[in-house]
C-alpha cells in the first residue's frame, strides 16, 4: 500500500450569471485554462482558503460562497507524488469586473517573483470546459443549477 501524502486543496468556480471565471498563466500557456485553486493552510478551514485563493490569484474580493459542490480525490501522478483532497466551491461574483484582466499573484510566504495570470469569462456549457488538472470535475453540477432556477442560492 502506498503512503502518498494527501494535501487538502480548494477549487473555486466563480460565476457571474452563466459564465465562469477562468485564467491562463501569461508566461506558461502550456499550464492550460484554470480556475482559482490552492492549498488549505494549517490554520484555516476550506471556506476561508477558497476566499483567500480567489483574492490572491485574481485580486477579487467581491464573491460569496453559494455552496460546497463536493469533495473528490485527485492523483497528481506523474507530476507529483501526491493525492489531493479537493474541496470544490461554487461562488457568485458580487462586484463588477472587466471582461478580461491581468493579475499578479504574490505569495507572501515566499520571495518568488509574482506570477501573472490573464483572467476572462467563459460561458458554462455543461462540459468541463477543458480545465487543466481535472479542475472541471464538478462543472456539470454547476450548469444544472444555473439553468434550473434563479433562486437556487436560497435552498
CATH number at residue 101: 3.90.79.10
Answer yes or no: is 41 within a domain.
Answer: yes
Per-residue DSSP letter, 96: -
Q: Kindly name the residue from 56, 67, 85, 92 that is annotated as catalytic.
A: 56
Answer yes or no: is 154 within a domain.
Answer: no
Q: Which domain holds residue 88?
A: 6-132
Of 17-26, 114-123, 146-155, which gets the smallest average pLDDT?
146-155
Answer yes or no: is 139 within a domain.
Answer: no
pLDDT at 108: 55
Answer yes or no: is 112 within a domain.
Answer: yes
Check if 105 is active-site.
no
pLDDT at 147: 57
Answer yes or no: is 98 within a domain.
Answer: yes
How many structural domains compose the chain? 1
Residue 150 clears pLDDT 70, i.e. is over it: no
Alpha-carbon distance of 7 to 26, in angstroms, equals 26
150 to 70, 107, 145: CA distances (angstroms): 21, 37, 9
Q: Answer whether 48's CB lies under 8 Å from 10's CB.
A: no
Average pLDDT over residues 96-102: 96
C-alpha cell of residue 81: 507524488
In three-state secondary structure terms, 53 is: helix
Answer yes or no: is 68 within a domain.
Answer: yes
The pLDDT mean for the chain works out to 88
pLDDT at 43: 93
Taking alpha carbons only, the member of 88, 15, 84 closest to residue 47 is 88
Residue 151 clears pLDDT 90, i.e. is over it: no
Answer yes or no: is 90 within a domain.
Answer: yes
Answer yes or no: is 146 within a domain.
Answer: no
Amino acid at each position: 500500500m502506498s503512503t502518498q501524502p494527501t494535501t487538502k486543496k480548494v477549487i473555486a468556480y466563480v460565476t457571474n450569471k452563466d459564465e465562469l471565471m477562468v485564467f491562463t498563466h501569461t508566461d506558461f500557456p502550456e499550464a492550460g485554462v484554470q480556475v482559482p485553486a490552492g492549498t488549505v493552510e494549517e490554520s484555516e478551514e476550506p471556506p476561508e482558503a477558497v476566499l483567500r485563493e480567489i483574492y490572491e490569484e485574481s485580486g477579487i474580493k467581491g464573491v460569496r460562497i453559494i455552496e460546497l459542490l463536493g469533495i473528490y480525490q485527485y492523483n497528481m501522478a506523474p507530476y507529483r507524488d501526491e493525492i489531493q483532497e479537493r474541496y470544490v466551491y461554487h461562488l457568485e461574483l458580487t462586484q463588477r469586473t472587466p471582461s478580461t484582466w491581468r493579475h499578479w499573484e504574490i505569495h507572501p510566504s515566499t520571495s518568488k517573483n509574482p506570477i501573472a495570470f490573464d483572467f476572462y469569462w467563459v460561458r458554462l456549457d455543461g462540459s468541463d470546459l477543458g480545465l487543466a488538472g481535472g479542475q472541471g470535475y464538478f462543472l456539470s453540477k454547476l450548469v444544472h443549477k444555473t439553468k434550473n432556477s434563479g433562486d437556487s442560492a436560497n435552498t
